[in-house]
Amino acid sequence: MAQGQLAEAMGVSRQTINSIENGRYTPSLPLAIALARYFGVTVEEMFDDQ
Amino acid sequence: MISNRCQAVARSRWLLPLFCLVLGGVVLLASWLGGQLVAGLYGLAVLAFFGLVVLLVGGRSETVRGLTTGRDERFAQIDLRATAVTGLVLITAVIVAWLVEIARGHSGNPYGWLGAVAGLSYIGAVAFFRWRG
C-alpha cells in the first residue's frame, strides 16, 4: 500500500506515515489504534519492535 | 457551525498570505504616521513577497503546508517544539540585553519589563495547564 493512500485514510500527511515507518515519530494513541484497526492487528503487533 | 467555519478558515491556504498582506498594510500605516513612508512601503513589499512565496510553495513544501493547511498531529508537535525553542531564544536575548543595559548604567528597561512579562506568562501557563490536567 502506498504511504499516500494510508496517510489519506488516517487523516495525516504522507511524511507523518513515513516518519512512523522509519521510527522517527511515535504516533499518538488514537492514531496508533486507528493504524492497528486499519491493518486488522493489535497495537502491540503493529508497534512492538521485537 | 462557527467552530467548523473557524477550522475551515484556519485550514485555508490563503490565511497566511492574507495575514502577511494585512500586517504589511498595518506596517505601512504605522510608518506613514511616523513619517517614514518609504520604510513602510519596503515593509509591505517584503511581507507581500513572503506571502506570495508561501502561497506558491505551499503545495510542495511540507513545512509551508504545516504552517498553513496541513497541520496533523506530528506537525502540531513540531510546532510546539519550535515555539518552545523560539521562546527560549527570545528569553535569552531579553535577559542578555537587560544585563547589558544594567552594565551600561541604564535602568534595564524595557528589557526588564519584557522579562517580567515572559516569566509571569510562563508561570501562568504552567498553572493553567496543570489545572486543566
Q: What is the pLDDT of residues B40-62, one digit of tens each?
A: 999 999 999 998 988 888 767 77
- Distance CA(B53)–CA(B37), nearest Å, equals 24
A25 touches chain B (CB under 8 A): yes
Which chain A residues have a beta carbon less than 8 Å from that of B62?
13, 15
Least Cα separation, residue A12 to chain B (angstroms)? 5
Give B68-85 pLDDT, tens digit per residue. 666 789 988 998 999 999
Least Cα separation, residue B15 to chain A (angstroms)? 20
Give Cα separations from A32 to A22, A46, B62 (angstroms): 15, 8, 22
Q: What is the DSSP letter of A39?
A: H
Q: ipTM, 2 decimals?
A: 0.83
Q: Which residue of B lies nearest to A31 if distances are taken between CA atoms?
A: B73
Measure CB to CB from residue B70 to each of A13, A19, A25 and give the nearest one.
A13
State residue A48's pLDDT score.
79
A6 touches chain B (CB under 8 A): no
State residue B11's pLDDT score.
61
- The C-alpha angle with vertex B131 and arms to A12 and B10, in degrees rounded to 5, equals 35
Q: What is the model's pTM?
A: 0.72
Q: Do B72 and A11 touch (CB under 8 A)?
A: yes
Helix axes B15-33, B37-57, angle to 10 degrees: 180
